[in-house]
Amino acid sequence: MTVRKLQQGRGWAFSLAVPIVKPTLLSIASRTWIDGEKIPAVGGCIVVFNHISHIDPLLSAHFVYDHGRLPRYLAKSGLFKNKALSKFLRSAGQIPVERLSRNAVGAFDAAVNAVRAGECVVVYPEGTLTRDPDLWPMIGKSGAARIALETGCPVIPVGQWGAHEVLPPYTTRPRLFPRKRIVMKAGDPVDLTDLLTRPRSTETINAATARIMAALVAVVEDLRGEKAPAERFDPRKAGLRQIGNPRKQDRA
């Protein structure tokens, strides 16, 4: 496992969080980091992860931080309603997202600006925790693809496995004993070169999204030693339009 030194100042938010969060995570799970050096040491980039647990953001931050980058997230706008938490999140460079609203465009612009400023932006391209019965990545949303096409930045897929053993999806009670094992592996940058000069049409964005998801699924398959289903789970087809609760049915 290669650990890379941080190349930028942490700021007060990360300086406060890292000494608390890292030891806590190490106490509940061992970690195996694989090929994290594929995350660029400097310069704007997007790192995409599969999403299997509410604890994922802490673990993915651990992975990215251990490889010399400060992670910037597209975070749910609801987290910013608390003044103290909002101050902390904004100081840590996190980007509020108001889903299904006009302000989502502002989040896209903020993410593009962050990448252009040389930041490492973390995206969960599924948009929410997976609802696939076997925890495979679902169909992807277009956010990561659109940011990549707009900026020309590298997109690094990172597959992870084990977080669901610590905190199963859509639950609130962690399973701390016995100590679990978390594995994360970075893949090669997704090749979008031929798409960068095309018009930003739906076809181009869908093609980029498909490549990003295929690369991510391939890394997860490698970690799990299994083949993913030929057809990815689609929450809308399953009548699960509501993002926060898998039991709420689509009333549209």
Q: Per-residue pLDDT for 84 more than 80?
A: yes
pLDDT, tens digit, 9 for 90 and up, residues 21-80: 999 999 999 999 999 999 999 999 999 999 999 999 999 999 999 999 999 987 777 778
The pLDDT of residue 251 is 30
Q: Does residue 4 form part of some domain?
A: no
Distance CA 168, CA 38 (A): 28
Q: What is the CATH number of the domain that holds 172?
A: 3.40.1130.10
The pLDDT of residue 241 is 61
Distance CA 244, CA 228 (A): 24
The pLDDT of residue 245 is 47
Q: What is the mean pLDDT of residues 88-116?
A: 77
Q: Does residue 246 form part of some domain?
A: no
Q: Does residue 252 form part of some domain?
A: no
Distances (CA, A) of 22 to 35, 79, 188, 215: 20, 21, 26, 28
Q: What is the mean pLDDT of residues 226-234?
A: 97
1 pLDDT band, cuts 50/70/90, is low
Contact 185, 223 (CB under 8 A): yes
Q: Does residue 229 form part of some domain?
A: no
> What letter does residue 77 receive in the DSSP assignment?
G
Q: Per-residue pLDDT for 189 more than 80?
A: yes
Which residue from 228, 252, 227, 226 is spatially nearest to 241, judged by alpha carbons? 252
Q: Does residue 185 form part of some domain?
A: yes
Q: Per-residue pLDDT for 105 more than 80?
A: no
| Number of domains making up the chain | 1
Distance CA 77, CA 52 (A): 20
Q: What is the CB-side half-sphere exposure of residue 251 using CA atoms within 13 A?
A: 4
The pLDDT of residue 86 is 85
Q: Does residue 5 form part of some domain?
A: no
> 73-87, 97-111, 113-127, 216-230: which range is least confident on average?
97-111
Angle at which helices 202-224 and 143-151 cross, to 10°? 110
**178 lies in which domain range?**
27-224
Q: Per-residue pLDDT for 166 more than 50?
A: yes
Q: Does residue 20 form part of some domain?
A: no
Distance CA 118, CA 43 (A): 4
